[in-house]
């Protein structure tokens, strides 16, 4: 009977450790998604070109911008041709991600 009792105690401890491990994994997975969501939100709120003062290869459209103003600012007259996901050049909205290749890099 002593062996059965010690086996029950061992099984109970093992199940508690497993439950603790699962809970820890859940907490860590929630933290990871929160960090990645925060990073994604920061990319939308602070576009890469805003910090650099120029235009990076990846450009996030800001409020009030058009393809024409972005083209003038970045020196890329072929934005529509390089971004097949833009079906209507007049339908540009804040948060839209576009590829920029300045004209002087093409030469």
Q: pTM for the whole thing?
A: 0.47
CB 93 within 8 A of CB 60: no
* CATH, range 48-106: 3.10.350.10
Residue 7 confidence (pLDDT)? 87
CB 102 within 8 A of CB 67: no
pLDDT tens, residue by residue, 7-35: 888 888 888 988 888 887 887 777 655 55
Question: Any idea which of 2-11, 36-45, 61-70 has the lowest mean pLDDT?
Answer: 36-45
Distance CA 55, CA 42 (A): 18
CB 79 within 8 A of CB 69: no
Instruction: Give the whole-number percent of the chain exceeding pLDDT 90.
Output: 23
Residue 92 CB contacts under 8 Å (≥ 6 apart), including other chains: 61, 65, 66, 67, 86
- Name the range with the highest mean pLDDT among 38-42, 44-48, 51-55, 78-82: 78-82
């Amino acid at each position: 009977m002593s062996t059965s009792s010690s086996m029950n105690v061992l099984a109970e401890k093992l199940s508690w450790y497993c439950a603790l491990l699962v809970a820890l994994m859940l907490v860590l997975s929630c933290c990871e998604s929160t960090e990645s969501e925060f990073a994604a939100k920061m990319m939308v709120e602070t576009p890469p070109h805003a910090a650099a003062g120029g235009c990076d290869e990846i450009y996030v459209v800001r409020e009030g911008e058009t393809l024409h103003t972005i083209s003038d600012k970045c020196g890329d007259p072929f934005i529509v041709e390089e971004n097949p996901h833009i079906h209507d050049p007049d339908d540009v909205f804040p948060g839209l991600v576009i590829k920029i290749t300045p004209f002087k890099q093409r030469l």
